A and B are shown apart, each in its own frame.
Chain A
Amino acid sequence: MILDTLKKDFLLFYRNKTSILLPLLFFFLIVSIFPLVLGPDVNLLMKIMPGIIWIISILTTLLSSHNFFYDDLDSGILDLYLTSKVPLSSMFFSKIISCWVVTFVPLLIFLPIISIMYSLDAFVLMILLITLFVGTPTLIGIGLFGSLLIISLPRNNILLPIIILPFYIPVLVFAADSISIASSMHIISPQLYILVALLVLALAFLPYLMSLTLKITINN
């Protein structure tokens, strides 16, 4: 089930390439604006770069997850899922994975190039990439859960960030902590393990919560 849904989702993303390119473009545009505004102070850029990358990752998540299920709702596919025997949790698990792959894998691949602009240390870059690798799927999961919560509400543009941003704080705090420890002491901090634990928790529980949410939102 998971593989079949992934296959279909990737095919849809392939056919509709703007959904891959837009978050990527958005990310690189915002990242490249900071050195232009702050000037060529290498120490300052090195210090603030991980924070900037994480904040832009959150904005990119909001961009991708907002209205992620709208097409499925509009075409009646969500009704189809609810009236069939398809395991909803597996289906939502694969949606989280496909949305993450499409939004963040291209970013993670191109991030080392961007880091040159900020003169980032190789070890810090590695830790930044690891935190993004284990932290962003949690962000996507929470984002998709939020977008499903508000799917049947009209004019919901601002509601999604208001609902989900507080839930991003733990991920953001532990990611920022592990990066700052890595840059000052050059060690891998235990905060990274907490990020992994958050990821495991999110992937285990969010698909189930999303299946319950879908039943409630469609019923009302």
Chain B
Amino acid sequence: MYLTADSITCYRNKQKVLDNLSFTLNSGDFMLVTGNNGSGKSTLLRCLCNLCPIENGEIRFDNRMKSDEIEDEFKNRILYLGHKNCINDDLTCAENLKFLFYIDCYDSDTSKDKFKDFDSKKILSALGLSEYSNRKVSTLSEGTKKKLSLLRLWAPRNNAIESNNKSIWLLDEPLNSLDTASKKIILKRMLSHTEYGGIIVCASHIEFPDEFSFLITKNIDLSK
């Protein structure tokens, strides 16, 4: 499995943000995208998951061009975690988690009874959130909200560890607002994902701890 960006150029608000950018990522690759504010890190991730149109160039998945015909297959393969948390302040942690898992794992044939035995506490405990299970999200801190949204990495079909779907992770500042222990858990999860053949594109300002710096197989600095 590989993902290729071939000379992609992208404009936002009539300003060129990405200029002739090319890279190829193979199974197990981890690409760190760095750059100053406004250099186009988030735009690159949005282009890769079709949320932002590209002006020139092409994005290929297993050497097939990204097009409407294979849009569903792309959606099957790509998990996008933007800097917004995708959680609803009026719902509890468990309700939000169930909603996120439902949407991420939605498949018209199989999703009907998939979450009947859904154990939200077990998933929440992965990042130490089980005690917040029935708490409204509006009462939680920013860091806890971020952790809740990152639990999408544990959804059954969202990782290379448990299934072959969603094996390309596009993560926008995943380590922001997290404490050191949670950062390590997330980085370990990323490590397992790449070990099982997944691909990660991660935009981040935060320096990776030394023991995880070997994770990074490619680095793109967009401010250059």
Contacts and interface: CB of A to CB of B under 8 A. Distances in A.
Given A84-B75, A84-B104, A219-B52, A79 B90 contact: no
A43 interface: no
B88 A75 contact: yes
B182 to A, nearest CB: 20
Contacts, number: 67
B209 to A, nearest CB: 27
B2 interface: no
Interface stretch (A11-19, A52-60, A120-128, A205-213): A11-19
Contact of A75 (B76, B78, B84): B84
Given A85-B72, A85-B108, A219-B53, A80 B103 contact: yes
B98 to A, nearest CB: 9
Central interface residue in B53, B79, B103, by most chain A CB within 10 Å: B103
B51 A219 contact: yes
Contacts of A8: 91, 95, 99
A83 B88 contact: no
Contacts of B84: 74-76, 79
A173 interface: no
Interface in B175-212: none
Interface string B28-53: 00000000000000000000011111
Nearest to A90: B108
A114 interface: no
B87 interface: yes
B128 interface: no
A81 interface: yes
B118 interface: no
Nearest to B111: A1
A71 B138 CA distance: 13
A90 B168 CA distance: 27
Nearest to B49: A83
A77 B76 CA distance: 18
Contact of B88 (A12, A79, A82, A218): A12
Interface string A33-68: 000000000000000000000000000000000000
Given A15-B91, A83-B75, A76 B86 contact: yes
Contacts of A83: 49-51, 75, 78-80
B106 interface: yes
A86 B103 CA distance: 6
Nearest to B145: A75
B119 interface: no
A76 B51 contact: no
Contacts of B86: 75-77, 79-80
Contacts of A76: 82-86
A170 interface: no
Contacts of B111: 1
30 contacts: A1-B106, A1-B111, A4-B102, A8-B99, A15-B90, A16-B90, A74-B84, A75-B84, A75-B88, A76-B82, A76-B83, A77-B88, A79-B51, A79-B86, A80-B103, A80-B104, A81-B103, A83-B49, A83-B50, A83-B51, A83-B78, A83-B79, A84-B104, A84-B106, A85-B75, A85-B108, A87-B108, A219-B51, A219-B52, A219-B53
7 tightest Cβ-Cβ pairs between the two chains A and B: A76-B84, A15-B90, A76-B86, A80-B86, A83-B80, A84-B103, A86-B106
